[in-house]
Structure 1
Amino acid sequence: MTWLLRVLACATVLLAPLEGYLQEVHPHLAKVVPALLIMSWVAQRVRERRLPAPHPLHALLALFAVVLLASSAVHAADPFTADYTQRFLPFLVITAVLADVVAREVPVRAVLLAAVGGAVSAAVGALYSLVVDGEARATGPLEDPNDLAYYLVVALPLLIALPARRFLLPVGAILAAGAAATFSRGGGLALAFAAVWLVARRGVSMRAVTATVGGLAVIGLGAVVFAGPVLERALAEKTYIAATNVDTRELRWQAAARMLADNPVLGVGPGGFRSEYPAASRNAEIDEQSPVAHNIYLEIGAELGLPGLACFLGAVALAFVATERVLRARADRSMLAVQASLIAALVAATFLSEQYYLPIWSLVAVAIAADLRREESERDACAARHQ
């Protein structure tokens, strides 16, 4: 059963960026592996008669689930509530399951390698959609280029945790090229913040950053030489869209802030932003009546109130605390990588509604799992000294 948990945990993380491809085969295919992971985990723990190692994250996730279900019950009449509750709740469950499985059965680096592997596959799909399919902006396995960029830039900092150094350059080039092909400004900003963090924490040297920037410049020059017309068309479309995005996101952020101010306890319900947006924005977008907020913090706050937002931010804070504890106990590049990746995810999510995608949740789970592993090793060392 242990081998099955390892395979399913890594497959859950690896297949997450490829959700769009899986849904093309069957609308529910992307849910199969996470569901099998949860069922296998329950069966294993029942067979062992063993509960997960306790951690404050479990209480926080349980409270988050209570807030989610309470908000859903209050706003049950909303047309989007049931669907969005069913989408959100599994992420809380899978976070708890991954934290326990990675703490016991799956090596931390194996999960990080799976995340990079899935992102590389998505990046290849992104480049294919741009070069072969002629898309103006790379999409590949995800419909929205910005969501795709989110997966790719979050995976890039994880490269410093991987042992096979000779593969870092080609893998990094593929991820960076795929992210660049989305023309996502938020993705670029997120990657810049992650790079600054790694340099400040001495996870990477300035020489490495300079070499990376130079490599990206070479890739960009090659793209201009060999795919000039495609890039010109993509840049023209992105310039047009960018101007519109600034205005619409400001409208949506203002509407989300109004919803939160008017409903601070339980929000407007899961998915409620979409149904409440026309009234909250005073019909500011006639052609878009049920959008997303394009800001994870405002959207969670608007839909689940201040308690839901506090639970989300609390889970992220616990992850940072956990990684710092591990780093104080021993030098561990994987924890620096997780920190930088989390920073990239949180910055990118300032411009996107990413609570329904796996990266933030899996990174929180890995951070907590590493902390649980640290606690167990310290207990074992203490017991050995006493013997």
Structure 2
Amino acid sequence: MNSVWQQFTLSSLPLQEWRRASYLHRSVVGLFSTWRQGSWLMQWSEVLATLLVSLVFALAPFVSNDLIGVLLFACASFWVLLTLTDERRYEPERANTLTPIHLLVLLYWGISTVATALSPVKAAAFVGWQKLTLYLVLFALAARILRSPRIRSWLITLYLHVALIVSIYGLQQWFYGANALATWVDTQSNLTRITRVYSYLGNPNLLAGYLLPAVVLSLVAVFAWQRWVPKLLALTMFVVNSACLVLTFSRGGWMGLLVAIFAVLVLLVYVLSVHFPAFWRTWSLPLLVGGVALLLTGGVLFVEPIRDRFLSIFAGRGDSSNNFRINVWIAVIEMIKDRPILGIGPGNTAFNKIYPLYQLPRYNALSAYSILLEVAVETGFVGLACLLWLLAVTFNSGLQQLRRLRQTGSREAFWLIGAIAALFGTLVHNIADTVWYRPEINTIWWFMVAIIASYYAAPVTRSDLLANSSFDRGSTN
């Protein structure tokens, strides 16, 4: 059974042997490596790549989507340049740049490409395909440079500081008031007079999705950062980000936050339990589960806004937001039935072309309001199966590397915990929403995936050592 799971998650896939035998790898990667050796600019390639990725995360909440697109195109162009000028030689220590996660990302891109080619609205689907490609290449570039702990720490710290600025402005809206830019609360709800903060992102659900990874990473930063001043800063970030997320009153954001925090606590107990006394090794996890359940029950029972917002989840069509989503889902399911294999093609532009043909009267929508339905309608059940496979491979890889870091006692384990938990929380948030597709959140999502991929450590086999020794002998001669 374990062998089947390893094969399914590509844990035993000989990626290094594939690199040596792949004609595509040998013919494309390093095609202009000679030029790179004499280029002064490419001596700073790692710094330049870090600068480009940093600009994406530093500006995303404050600028237009068009400018984010320009920055992503710059990242993609630089990744192509790095790939074409990469070293041709084989080094085991560099073999980890290709991971099982990369293969599934490539497969998902391939399926999306075929879905675009077969789309009934090819021009519209091509627009979505371009956006998807930019996101996936951002992942490839980030996974490459994040193998450096110094760069990984810099980019995480940058995102946390930007998120802190966003959260502070959100809290200012709570204390001083902010005009709702859309109808975000049922007019018959008790929450009609409550301000739902949205900060610079213009939408409370979008703000919640953006802040969710920041809450998780600021929590693990309390353990990852070593000195007391950084630890106090991390704790401040956690409190401010959490408060701002809660004040969005985003039900999906709340659910994602609870799942993410719970995942962090479970993984922290797993990593730190090696230092626990025998009693706490046995009972820490059950006590944690019970404590979280008790805390949630108390919040629902005694905090009226939380109780009202929580109960609205189960109100069915009695809540206007629920009713809207249900009607959209009905139309989307009909769309999936008509094109179940490869869907209509990626992107909201293609969705907006096809959805009006199926929508119920008065229920206009820009997306499927569910990440699973959205993927199914865009790339069919083939694309949905690939995405679920990608998630399984990503989480499995993350847990494998977490086990390795636990054994060595490395502080890097805390960042890995944060990335895994952030992905869990974002997935739960988007079960009944699709803020995942917005650039501010999609870039952070692939950043979390890239963090997990950056920890990948493939075992060095005998053939790897022989290949490297052969290269050394060739270089000596």
TM-aligned CA distance change 1:242 to 1:375, over 3 Å = farther
Q: For the residues of structure 2 that align with 1:142 and 1:338, how far apart are their CA atoms?
A: 22
Structure 2 residue corresponding to 1:198, chosen from 264, 270, 277: 264
| Percent identity (aligned) | 22
CA contact (8 A) 2:72 2:135 kept: no
1:229-248: CA deviations, max 9, x gaps? xx9xxx9xx99999211011
* TM-score, length of structure 2 as denominator length: 0.65
Partner Cα distance (1:128, 1:322) in 2 = 40
Q: Kindly tell me: are residues 355 and 291 of structure 1, through their superposed partners in 2, closer, same or farther at Cα, counting changes over 3 Å?
A: closer
Say whether residues 1:9 and 2:84 are aligned partners: no
Q: Which SS does the other structure have where 1:254 is aligned?
A: helix
Distance in 1, Cα, partners of 2:151 & 2:83? 18
Q: Is the 8 A contact 2:163 2:241 kept in 1?
A: yes
Seen in structure 2, the aligned counterparts of structure 1 residues 142 and 170 have a Cα distance that, compared at 3 Å, is same
Q: What do the CA deviations read for 1:272-308 (whole angstroms, capped 9, x no partner)?
A: 4333333334xx242x434311111110111111121
Query: Do the aligned partners of 1:345 and 1:359 also contact (CA within 8 Å) in 2?
Result: no
**Residue in 2 that maps onto 1:151:** 210
Q: Distance in 2 between matches of 1:294 and 1:185?
A: 13
Point out the structure with max Rg over C-alpha.
Answer: 2
CA distance in 2, matches of 1:298, 1:45: 35
Q: Deviations over 1:42-62 (max 9, x none)?
A: 333444435983222333222
Find the counterpart in structure 2 of residue 349 from structure 1. 430
Query: Counterpart in 2 of 1:142?
Result: 201
The whole-number CA distance in structure 2 between the counterparts of 1:103 and 1:168 is 23
Please tell me whether residue 182 in structure 1 is matched to residue 263 in structure 2: no
Equivalences for residues 316-327 of structure 1 within 5 A: 316-327=391-402
Instruction: Give, in angstroms, the shift of residue 323 of structure 1.
Output: 1.0
In structure 2, what is the Cα distance between the partners aligned to 1:112 and 1:303? Answer: 31
For structure 2, which runs of at least 5 residues remain unmatched after alignment? Answer: 1-43, 89-93, 180-194, 273-283, 407-412, 470-477
The answer on whether the counterparts of 2:75 and 2:137 sit within 8 Å (CA) in structure 1 is no
Alignment partner of 1:103: what SS? coil
Instruction: Give a deviation string over 1:251-289, Cα, whole Å, max 9, x none.
Output: 2223223322321211122234333333334xx242x43
In the TM superposition, what whole-angstrom CA distance separates every residue of 1:309-350 from its partner, at most 9, and x where no partner exists? 122222222221111111121221222221111111110111
Pick one of 160, 165, 189 that aligns with 2:231: 165
The unaligned stretches of length 5 or more in structure 1 are 225-230
Per the alignment, in what secondary structure is the counterpart of residue 111 of structure 1? helix
Residues 208-244 of structure 1, C-alpha deviations (whole Å, 9 max, x = no match): x88xx79xx9xxx9xx9xxxxxx9xxx9xx9999921
Q: Identify the residue that residue 228 of structure 1 maps to in structure 2.
A: none
Amino acid at match of 1:313: L
Q: 1:133 to 1:82 in 2, by over 3 A?
A: farther
Name the SS of the counterpart of 1:330 in structure 2. helix
Q: d(CA) in 2 for partners of 1:358 and 1:314?
A: 20
CA contact (8 A) 1:157 1:340 kept: yes
- How far is 1:137 from its partner? 2.0
| Number of matched pairs | 355
State which of 81, 85, 110 in structure 1 corresponds to 2:125.
Answer: 81
Task: Report the Cα distance in structure 1 between the residues aligned to 2:123 and 2:325, rounded to whole angstroms.
Answer: 23
Taking only aligned residues, the RMSD between alpha carbons, in angstroms, comes to 3.6
What TM-score, normalized by structure 1, do the two folds share?
Answer: 0.79
Deviations 1:336-374 (A, max 9, x none): 221111111110111221134223222111111111xx3
Residues 9 and 37 in structure 1, CA contact (< 8 A), matched pair in contact too:
yes
